[in-house]
C-alpha cells in the first residue's frame, strides 16, 4: 500500500484562531508532500509543495505567513492556518509522493474539512 493519513478529519474553529493539520505517510517515505485546497464544486488548488528539510514552495496567491507548512521528517508534514477567517473554510487535502521508483504518483490523504465561524 501507500497510505496517507490526515488529522483531524474535520475541525470547527473561531475566527482569529489557528488550526494545525497533520499529514502522515504511514508505510513509505514521502520525499515530497503537497497541500491542496478545494472549495465546493471546484477543482483542486495546489497551495504549496514541500520537500523534507527545506522550505515549502508556495503557489502564487497563497500567503506563506498565513499558511505555515513544516515538513520536518520524511513521514510528516503540517499545515497551520493562522488567524483563520470564515473565507478559509474549505476542504484541505494533502498528498505525498515518493520519488524513488516513479511515476511520481501522489497518494492522497482523506482530507480535512475546516469550518471557521
Partner 1 sequence: GQNIDQPTEMTATEGAIVQINCTYQTSGFNGLFWYQQHAGEAPTFLSYNVLDGLEEKGRFSSFLSRSKGYSYLLLKELQMKDSASYLCAPLDSNYQLIWGAGTKLIIKP
- Write out the residues near partner 1 by the rule CB under 8 A: 42-46, 49, 91, 93, 95, 103-111, 113
CB 91 within 8 Å of CB 38: yes
In the bound state with partner 1, the residue whose beta carbon lies nearer, of 27 and 105, is 105
Q: Residue 18 contacts by C-beta under 8 Å, 6 or more apart in sequence?
A: 80, 81, 82, 83, 84
* Cβ at position 83, least distance to partner 1 in Å: 26
In the bound state with partner 1, the residue whose beta carbon lies nearer, of 16 and 99, is 99
* Cβ at position 6, least distance to partner 1 in Å: 8
In the bound state with partner 1, the residue whose beta carbon lies nearer, of 46 and 76, is 46
* Cβ at position 104, least distance to partner 1 in Å: 5
Beta strands in the chain (DSSP E): 4-7, 10-13, 19-25, 32-38, 45-51, 57-58, 67-73, 76-81, 90-97, 107-108, 112-116
Amino acid at each position: 500500500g501507500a497510505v496517507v493519513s490526515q488529522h483531524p478529519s474535520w475541525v470547527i474553529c473561531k475566527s482569529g484562531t489557528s488550526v494545525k493539520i497533520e499529514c502522515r505517510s504511514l508505510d513509505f517515505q514521502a520525499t515530497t508532500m503537497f497541500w491542496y485546497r478545494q472549495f465546493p464544486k471546484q477543482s483542486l488548488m495546489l497551495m504549496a509543495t514541500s520537500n523534507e528539510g527545506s522550505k515549502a514552495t508556495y503557489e502564487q496567491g497563497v500567503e506563506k505567513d498565513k499558511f505555515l507548512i513544516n515538513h520536518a521528517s520524511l513521514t510528516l508534514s503540517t499545515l497551520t492556518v493562522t488567524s483563520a477567517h470564515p473565507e478559509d473554510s474549505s476542504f484541505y487535502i494533502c498528498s505525498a509522493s515518493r520519488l524513488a521508483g516513479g511515476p511520481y504518483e501522489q497518494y492522497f490523504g482523506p482530507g480535512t474539512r475546516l469550518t471557521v465561524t
